[in-house]
Structure 1
Amino acid sequence: MSDLLDVSQASAMLRKMLPLYESIGLTVEHMSDVLECSVPFSRHNQNHLGTLHAGVQWSAAEMLGGLLYMTHMQTLGNCSPVVCEVNIKFLKAATSRIRARTRFDADQVQALKTTLDSENKAFFDLNIELLDDADLVVSTVVAKYRYRRATSD
């Protein structure tokens, strides 16, 4: 569970902040040690081959860095999360709803906070899997993020 938000509040906030998430139907599923969102398989989200568009998969995966902050914003303080790099490997055609999932446990959150407290910024990676409705991994992602604290100087 998040410091401040539940999954429906987080979904609504993300969809309002970035209308792309509304357009692709992104929904937050879990906000704890496991961060997860889903995107439906719909005609609107398909590519010319009839499979889930690569950009939709990329967007679902990349959003987890922001969801991490939303989940722990009270602990981490006022930060700006920014994605620096995303490497995605498409392993299998996605022909169903997908879920983007990563894990970031309490020890990792504390280490992130410690770095932010001492340096006002922190760099970290998320290893993300995109799974279809059969729980098969359709894509793997390594996303690199920077969180920067708001400072008065």
Structure 2
Amino acid sequence: MTYEETFDAALEHLVPQAHRMGVRAVEVAPGRVVCRVPLEGNGNHLGTIYAGVLFTVAEVLGGALCMPSFDLARFYPVVKSLRIDFRKPARSDVLAETSLPEDRIAEIAKTAEEHGKAEFTLHATLTDADGIVVAATEGVYQLRAHKGTGA
């Protein structure tokens, strides 16, 4: 099973509302994630994607990025805050993407190993079908050790 398939299956059970919105992984790799959300079924009274849907597709990027980047048998991600700037109306499907450099991933893993948790920030860009940025986010996440893992 690919990381994309694993993420989509996990989302269906862990965040069923996001799955019902049609949030799906396009690319899930260590340090890089892209998810898509469709316009269809997620519109508002203006015929654009509802703001809460854009927030959701951006927020789930943190969990998706953790799947291939960290040992989820020992650690789990939590969102602490997410700030979103809406820039243009989204009148098509939207791609949300974020990334973290390899050295930053190593720092986060080391801090979580030593202290049982580590905080990190993700900047995401949400673009429409024409490549126009419709929103940008800054999310603060925390990688936490499962109880009893020794971290």
Q: Comparing both structures, which one devotes a greater share of its residues to helix?
A: 1
Q: Could you say which residue in structure 2 is the equivalent of 1:59?
A: 56
Distance in structure 2 (CA, Å) of the matches to 1:61 and 1:7: 16
Q: Is the 8 A contact 1:35 1:104 kept in 2?
A: no
**How much does 1:101 deviate?**
0.3
Alignment partner, residue 68 of structure 1: 65
Q: Which residue of 2 aligns with 1:149?
A: 145
- Whether 1:91 aligns to 2:93 is no
Aligned to 2:36: 38
Please report how far the alpha carbon of residue 21 of structure 1 lies from its aligned counterpart in structure 2 after TM superposition: 2.1
Q: After TM superposition, which residue ranges in structure 1, 4 or more long, deviate above 3 angstroms?
A: none
Amino acid at match of 1:135: G
The alignment yields a C-alpha RMSD, in angstroms, of 1.6
For the Cα contact (< 8 Å) 2:3–2:67, is it kept in 1? no
Which runs of no fewer than 5 residues in structure 2 stay unpaired?
A: none
Q: Is residue 8 of structure 2 the alignment partner of residue 28 of structure 1? A: no
Give the aligned residue type for 2:38. P
Q: In structure 2, what is the Cα distance between the partners aligned to 1:78 and 1:91?
A: 38
Residue-pair matches, total:
148
The whole-number CA distance in structure 2 between the counterparts of 1:124 and 1:77 is: 19
Q: In structure 1, which of residues 11, 14, 19 is the aligned counterpart of residue 8 of structure 2?
A: 11
Change (3 A) 1:5 1:73: farther
Q: Give the TM-score normalised by structure 1.
A: 0.90
Could you tell me how far apart the structure 2 residues matched to 1:109 and 1:91 are? 29
